[in-house]
Amino acid sequence: MNKLVLSIIFSVLLVIWLASGADVERQIGTQLVAPSTVFQVDSFASEAQLHQRSVTIRGRIDADKSVVLRSKIAGQVVATYFREGESVAEGDVICELELGDREIAAERAASAVRLAEIEYRGSLQLRSGGLQSELAMANAEDRLAAARLAKQQADLALEYTKIRAPFDGIVESLHAEKGAYLRPADVCAQILDVTPFIFSGLVSEDVVRFLAPGDQGRVLVEGLEAQTAQLRFVAHQADQVTRNYQVEAIIQNEQTTSVRAGLTAALTIPLNELLAHRIPASIISLDANGQLRVKAINDQSEVVYYFVDLIDETREGLWVTGLPDRVRLITTGSEFVAEGDVVDYRIGESN
């Protein structure tokens, strides 16, 4: 009997204990299911505006033309007619070599041509009268052709004694002096054409598609005022090693005496205007695919993502497209919120 009473009492106590545990669990569960916290972020209102984007190309200044004048014959220099830095015109004699017997050889060649022409005309007359064979006529033609060729060679040898400027320019360097002996291929002088100077640089495939011959720009050389320039060449094929494209621009020489070939320079070319947003670089992030994106807040105070395209970089910020004309962008706290989260935002200064 006592055992039965004890069993009943134990069962009652067990039921009471289990019931009290469920109440505690319900209380704990009630405490855990609390209202979610709304995260607070900083933001600013951005409005699209017209932006004149531009591209800046790093490069160097080159002469439009540069040629090294070399002797084609052997001979002693009898005269040089210009000094380094002096201007020359096309056809001016820079270095003159001794004539030697070249003048006499040219006169003999001219006499041989005259004699061959007389013989040829005589053969024609005899041929018309049936007194000249075809073989004799052919020999006369060959002698005339050979005489004319010899005269051309003699005249060239005579002309080669005068090494001339092939275009208007300046004498950049003079390598021969009076009395020096030049052999074939020895250098007389270097001539540069610096009217105009040429800007030369390389651009990537992302930039080359925006450029075309005729585009206007400004070339800046450190220490000098910017000068106007016009694209004259945009390569159609990339360099096999760098994968960049060659571009050239003609510089209007507003400061001819200050500009020098070989100077480092930058060419800035304005591109088309388009609607874009100026934003700080700190609010841009990359998604898993490497695309640029920003976080914004919609009218329901929810976080939304926008993918953007970077079109320009300035000191004031980055210019991007891909956003609505008016948008509220998150500046601080974006790393703690995800797309779809409802946020409480503080309003910052608009762009």
Report, as an integer, the average pLDDT of 42-52. Answer: 93
Q: Residue 37 has what DSSP assignment? A: P
Residue 130 confidence (pLDDT):
73
Distances (CA, A) of 8 to 19, 20, 21, 22, 210: 17, 19, 20, 22, 93
Using one digit for the tens of pLDDT, what is the confidence trace for 190-227? 999 988 899 999 999 888 988 999 999 999 888 888 88
Question: Cα–Cα distance between 133 and 130 in angstroms, integer?
Answer: 8
Question: Cα–Cα distance between 62 and 331 in angstroms, integer?
Answer: 46
Sign of the four-CA dihedral 93, 94, 98, 102: negative
Using one digit for the tens of pLDDT, what is the confidence trace for 78-126? 999 999 999 999 999 999 999 988 889 999 999 999 999 998 888 888 8
Question: Cα–Cα distance between 109 and 114 in angstroms, integer?
Answer: 9
The answer to whether 214 and 224 are in contact (CB under 8 A) is no
Location of structure tokens 């360099």: 239
Task: Give 21: exposed, middle or buried? Use CB within 10 Å, 0-12, 13-18, 19+.
Answer: exposed
Residue 287 confidence (pLDDT):
87
In sequence order, which ranges of 176-260 are alpha helices (DSSP H)? Answer: 205-208
The number of angstroms, rounded, from the C-alpha of 69 to the middle of its chain's C-alpha atoms is 30
